[in-house]
C-alpha cells in the first residue's frame, strides 16, 4: 500500500508557507507554526497576519530593537560577573594550611605503616631463625 503524499505545510496560525517566512522545516515535519506566530503575544490573539509587511509585525518585535543591556549591567552582587568569585588572601592562606596539614598527616600514616610492616617482617624472620 502506497502512503498518501503529504499536503504542503502551512502555518497553523496564519496559513503562510515556510518559504514565505524564511523558516527551515525538515521534510519529515507533520505540523508547522511560523516564527511570527510563535513570537506573537496572547494580547495580540497569538496570531500574525499573512502579509509580510513590517506594519503587520507583532508589537513585541518592536521592543527587540532597543537593548537594555546597559541598564542591566548596573546590578549589584554576583549577578552579571563572569568567572570565578574572588577569594580573600586570608581564605587562601587558611586553605593552604589545611592542604599542608592533610599532606603531612598522609605522609605520617604512610611512614607508620611502612615501619609497622618492617617490624612485623623482622619479627617473623627472627622467629623463623629461632625455630629452624
Contacts for 16 with CB less than 8 Å, ≥ 6 apart: 10, 34, 36, 50, 52
Structural contact between residues 49 and 84, judged by C-beta atoms closer than 8 angstroms = no
Burial class (CB within 10 angstroms; exposed 0-12, middle 13-18, buried 19+) of 11 = buried
Average pLDDT over all residues of the chain: 76
SS3 23: coil
Separation of alpha carbons 19 and 8, rounded Å: 11
Structural contact between residues 17 and 9, judged by C-beta atoms closer than 8 angstroms = yes
**pLDDT per position as a tens digit, 63-103:** 545 555 555 555 566 777 788 888 999 999 999 999 999 99
- Number of C-alpha atoms within 13 angstroms, CB side, residue 103? 6
- Cell 510563535 found at: 38
What is the pLDDT, as a whole number, of residue 21? 80
Query: Percent of the chain having pLDDT more than 70?
Result: 65
Amino acid at each position: 500500500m502506497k502512503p498518501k503524499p503529504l499536503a504542503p505545510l502551512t502555518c497553523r496560525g496564519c496559513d503562510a508557507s515556510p518559504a514565505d517566512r524564511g523558516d527551515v522545516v525538515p521534510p519529515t515535519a507533520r505540523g508547522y507554526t511560523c516564527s511570527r506566530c510563535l513570537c506573537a503575544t496572547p494580547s495580540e490573539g497569538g496570531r500574525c497576519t499573512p502579509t509580510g509587511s513590517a506594519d503587520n509585525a507583532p508589537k513585541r518585535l518592536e521592543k527587540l530593537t532597543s537593548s537594555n543591556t546597559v541598564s542591566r549591567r548596573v546590578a549589584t552582587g554576583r549577578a552579571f560577573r563572569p568567572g570565578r568569585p574572588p577569594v580573600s588572601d586570608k581564605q587562601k592562606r587558611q586553605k593552604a594550611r589545611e592542604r599542608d596539614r592533610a599532606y603531612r598527616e598522609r605522609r605520617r600514616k604512610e611512614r607508620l605503616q611502612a615501619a609497622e610492616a618492617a617490624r612485623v617482617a623482622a619479627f617473623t624472620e627472627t622467629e623463623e631463625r629461632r625455630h629452624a
